[in-house]
């Protein structure tokens, strides 16, 4: 397998490396590029952030990514910038680097290269929502204020020509490759039969979960197949009836695509992982790994989404809630994979409530998604689903039936709140106790009611000093 990409402007070709070699280890151990740091080796601290430039049917993108959970084949055909390659060709510091010095944005300096790369990627993409673009970079020294000042101060500076030039020099890579127990297909038509023949293969979309299997659990996951070159899995198709999202669509692209239809879903995705994680993670991966605390399944269940599975040439469509059978068990045959998800067009009644210890970049203790239809002040339909309340993402069917057919008032809501105890028997773990989960699940319905009625304010994130 031959992996070709630009490294700080220079074409490199990597052969004879394990397909699950992480970019971070390769940079530090093979290339002596020690500026990229290891802070956690699981994509949660951002010290290893690098910038990846790529071009596809959606245009050019400059994305911050975590090098510790990025396997080398994922870089094939792209351009990589590390902190060593951020200054311009004359050696002048990038504006974010200079502003970090001027605003005292570094103390111990260990997280700084990662911050600088996230800031540079945001700057190159014209993004100024710094709390979001830097949510995936942890700093233990500064308290962040000077870093944000630096990011703001750099906003007005012109974009880097050096970084922009990478897009024009990307290696061309339109050939599928297969060797060393790894496969990089170019189309679904190529991948589907291969997977039927190799049903034990590990599918890698963004590697934000699989990366941890390798780094932390020492799992041998071969054979592996990298799906990121498959353009048709990245498609988003809008029709009057709904929106179809390919399994390979990243969470950040999903966020943009879903914003006009269901802004609260988009707001929940804003808090899903971090910028670096959302730039890599795919919707297909978030569904297919079947986690009881994945955040998109409860929203998709509440929206009545339909999952399309494919096995060879055979297609199958099921309501997404039917996919999650039990903990670790999904309705997926050998060699079958999630191809796309379809969300029917509907009035936007969706609210998503994600509870976690920290607002940003935290796995949900509970994620409740509510889609309640009120007609003539009466509940005519209700789809409510939760993550973190059971062994799978699960609907609150008793709560739903208690609501449906009744007048939309606080008495109905309170009667339905009592039914959560029938629908769910949550557990206690390091994220929350069973009682906290039980109480807040109920209270979320009350919050939905208040929000619907323009009642008292309930969201602390919308409060200003």
213 binds another protein (CB under 8 A): no
Instruction: Report the nearest approach of another protein to the CB of residue 86 (Å).
Output: 8
Residue 78 CA to residue 69 CA, distance in Å, equals 16
464 binds another protein (CB under 8 A): yes
Q: Which residue has the tokens 């990307």?
A: 170
Q: Which stretch binds another protein (CB under 8 A): 77-85, 155-163, 224-232, 324-332?
A: 77-85
Tell me the sheet residues that pair with 316.
Answer: 309
Report which secondary-structure segment, H or E, holds 336.
strand 336-344
177 binds another protein (CB under 8 A): no
Instruction: Report the nearest approach of another protein to the CB of residue 192 (Å).
Output: 33
439 binds another protein (CB under 8 A): yes
Q: Which stretch binds another protein (CB under 8 A): 155-163, 333-341, 414-422, 424-432?
A: 424-432
Residue 337 CA to residue 3 CA, distance in Å, equals 25
**CA-closest candidate to residue 60, choices 43, 79, 47, 41:** 79
Instruction: Report the nearest approach of another protein to the CB of residue 274 (Å).
Output: 8
279 binds another protein (CB under 8 A): no
Number of residues that bind another protein (CB under 8 A): 91
Token reading at 172: 């061309």
List 1, 203, 266, 355, residue binding another protein (CB under 8 A) = 355
87 binds another protein (CB under 8 A): yes
Report which secondary-structure segment, H or E, holds 115.
helix 112-124
**CA-closest candidate to residue 341, choices 252, 265, 245:** 245
Which C-beta is closer to another protein: that of 234 or that of 271? 271
List 9, 127, 144, 406, residue binding another protein (CB under 8 A) = 144
Q: Which stretch binds another protein (CB under 8 A): 6-14, 135-143, 319-327, 332-340?
A: 135-143
Instruction: Report the nearest approach of another protein to the CB of residue 327 (Å).
Output: 18
Q: What is the distance of C-alpha 8 from the center of its chain?
A: 26
Instruction: Report the nearest approach of another protein to the CB of residue 343 (Å).
Output: 27
352 binds another protein (CB under 8 A): no
CB atoms under 10 Å from CB of 16, counted, come to 8
End-to-end CA distance of the chain: 55
Which C-beta is closer to another protein: that of 32 or that of 59? 32
**Please, what is the angle between helix 112-124 and helix 95-102, to 10°?**
130
189 binds another protein (CB under 8 A): no
Instruction: Report the nearest approach of another protein to the CB of residue 218 (Å).
Output: 5
Helices H, strands E: what count in the chain?
17, 20
CB 26 within 8 A of CB 71: no
**CA-closest candidate to residue 292, choices 329, 317, 343:** 329
What would you report as the CA-atom Rg of the chain, rounded to the nearest whole angstrom?
23
413 binds another protein (CB under 8 A): no
Q: Which stretch binds another protein (CB under 8 A): 244-252, 278-286, 309-317, 354-362?
A: 354-362
List 63, 233, 390, 432, residue binding another protein (CB under 8 A) = 432
Binding to another protein, residues 3-42 (CB under 8 A): 25, 28-29, 32-42
Binding to another protein, residues 45-74 (CB under 8 A): 45, 47
* Dihedral over Cα of 343, 70, 80, 161: its sign: positive
Report which secondary-structure segment, H or E, holds 279.
helix 275-280
Token reading at 210: 């699989």
435 binds another protein (CB under 8 A): yes
Task: Transcribe 56-92 into DSSP letters.
Answer: ETTEEEEEEEEGGG-BGGGGTT-EEE-GGG-S-TT-P
Residue 404's φ and ψ, nearest 5 degrees, are -65, 130
168 binds another protein (CB under 8 A): no
Instruction: Report the nearest approach of another protein to the CB of residue 306 (Å).
Output: 31
307 binds another protein (CB under 8 A): no
- Binding string, 95-134, against another protein, x = CB under 8 A? --xx-xxx-xxxxxxxxxx--x-------------xxx-x
């Amino acid at each position: 397998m031959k992996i070709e990409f630009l490294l700080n402007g220079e074409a490199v070709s990597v052969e004879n490396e394990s397909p699950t070699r992480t970019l971070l280890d390769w940079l530090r151990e093979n290339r002596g590029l020690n500026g990229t740091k290891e802070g956690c080796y699981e994509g949660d601290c951002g010290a290893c952030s690098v910038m990846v430039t790529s071009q596809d049917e959606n245009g050019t993108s400059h994305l911050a990514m975590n090098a510790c959970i990025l396997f080398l084949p994922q870089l094939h055909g792209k351009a990589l910038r590390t902190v060593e390659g951020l200054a311009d060709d004359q050696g002048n510091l990038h504006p974010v680097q200079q502003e970090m010095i001027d605003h005292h944005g570094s103390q111990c300096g260990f997280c700084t290269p990662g911050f600088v790369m996230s800031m540079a990627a945001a700057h190159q993409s014209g993004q100024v929502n710094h709390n979001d673009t830097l949510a995936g970079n942890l700093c233990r020294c500064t308290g962040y204020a000077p870093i944000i000042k630096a990011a703001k101060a750099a906003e007005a500076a012109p974009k880097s020509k050096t970084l922009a030039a990478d897009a024009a020099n990307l290696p061309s890579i339109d050939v599928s490759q297969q060797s060393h127990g790894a496969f990089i297909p170019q189309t679904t038509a190529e991948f589907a039969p291969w997977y039927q023949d190799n049903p034990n293969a590990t599918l890698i979309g963004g590697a934000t979960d699989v990366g941890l299997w390798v780094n932390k659990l020492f799992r041998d996951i071969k054979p592996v197949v990298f799906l990121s070159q498959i353009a048709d899995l990245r498609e988003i198709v809008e029709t009057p009836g709904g929106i179809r999202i390919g399994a390979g669509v990243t969470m950040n692209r999903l966020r943009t695509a879903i914003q006009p239809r269901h802004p609260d879903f988009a707001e929940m995705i804003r808090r899903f992982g971090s910028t670096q994680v959302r730039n890599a993670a795919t919707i297909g991966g978030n569904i297919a790994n079947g986690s009881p605390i994945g955040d998109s399944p409860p929203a998709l269940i509440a929206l009545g989404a339909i999952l399309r599975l494919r096995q060879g040439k055979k297609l199958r469509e099921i309501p997404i809630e039917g996919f999650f059978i039990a903990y670790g068990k999904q309705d997926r045959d050998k060699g079958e994979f999630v191809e796309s998800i379809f969300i029917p067009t509907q009035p936007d009644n969706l609210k998503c409530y994600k509870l976690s210890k920290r607002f940003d970049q935290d796995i949900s203790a509970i994620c409740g998604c509510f889609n309640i239809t009120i007609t003539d002040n009466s509940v005519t339909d209700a789809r409510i689903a939760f993550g973190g309340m059971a062994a799978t993402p699960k609907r609150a069917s008793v709560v739903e039936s208690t609501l449906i057919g009744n007048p939309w008032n606080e008495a109905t809501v309170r009667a339905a709140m009592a039914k959560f105890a029938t629908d769910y028997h949550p557990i206690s773990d390091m994220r929350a106790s069973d009682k906290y989960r039980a109480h807040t699940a109920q209270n979320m319905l009350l919050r939905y009611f208040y929000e619907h009625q323009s009642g008292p304010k309930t969201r602390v994130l919308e409060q200003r000093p």
